[in-house]
């Protein structure tokens, strides 16, 4: 949903619709923000926290549109070490990131036909 449509619904004043729009809109924006953070060089603990939130959000089919872009799927594949040429898993500290990335990918592929086609 675009910003103008969300604003129209909020201005209309129906409480249930406002709540749904704001929840869906903020969830989508949160997903987009998480991916912007995940491409940066951040500590493992921060990556795991971002991925845990993304895993929970990815259970909702309404939130999957910003998640299932080719670029975002590549980010998750990279974090899960599924696109690495060498198969060595040198850093034990990266295992929590790998596991959470795999959980996210499972949710996304299970819930999104678009992701299944990528």
Q: Is the pLDDT of residue 84 over 70?
A: no
- Residue 89: what pLDDT? 61
What's the alpha-carbon Rg for the chain, to the nearest Å? Answer: 16
User: How big, in percent rounded to 5, are the helix, strand and coil portions of the chain?
Assistant: 75, 0, 25
Query: Residue range 26-52: average pLDDT?
Result: 90
- Kindly report the number of other CB atoms within 10 A of residue 54's CB atom: 25
Distance between CA 112 and CA 108 in Å, rounded? 6
Two tokens, residue 36: 């912007």
Phi, psi (rounded to 5 degrees) for 103: -65, -45
Distance between CA 39 and CA 91 in Å, rounded? 18
Boundaries of every domain in the chain: 31-117
Q: Which of 55, 72, 70, 71 is nearest to 111 (CA)?
A: 55
**Is residue 115 very low, low, confident or very high in pLDDT (cuts 50, 70, 90)?**
confident
Burial of 6 (0-12, 13-18, 19+ CB in 10 A): middle
Query: Residue range 73-99: average pLDDT?
Result: 80
- Residue 88: what pLDDT? 60
Q: Is the pLDDT of residue 67 over 70?
A: yes
Q: Which residue has the tokens 């670029």?
A: 71
């Amino acid at each position: 949903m675009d910003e103008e449509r969300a604003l129209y619904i909020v201005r209309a004043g129906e409480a249930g619709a406002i709540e749904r729009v704001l929840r869906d809109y903020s969830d989508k924006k949160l997903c987009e923000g998480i991916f912007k953070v995940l491409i940066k060089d951040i500590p493992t603990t921060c990556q795991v926290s971002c991925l845990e939130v993304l895993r929970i959000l990815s259970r909702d089919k309404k939130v999957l549109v910003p998640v299932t872009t080719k670029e975002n799927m590549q980010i998750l594949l990279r974090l899960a070490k599924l696109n690495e040429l060498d198969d060595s898993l040198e850093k034990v500290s990266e295992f929590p990131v790998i596991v959470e990335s795999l959980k996210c990918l499972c949710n996304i592929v299970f819930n999104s036909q678009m992701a299944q086609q990528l």
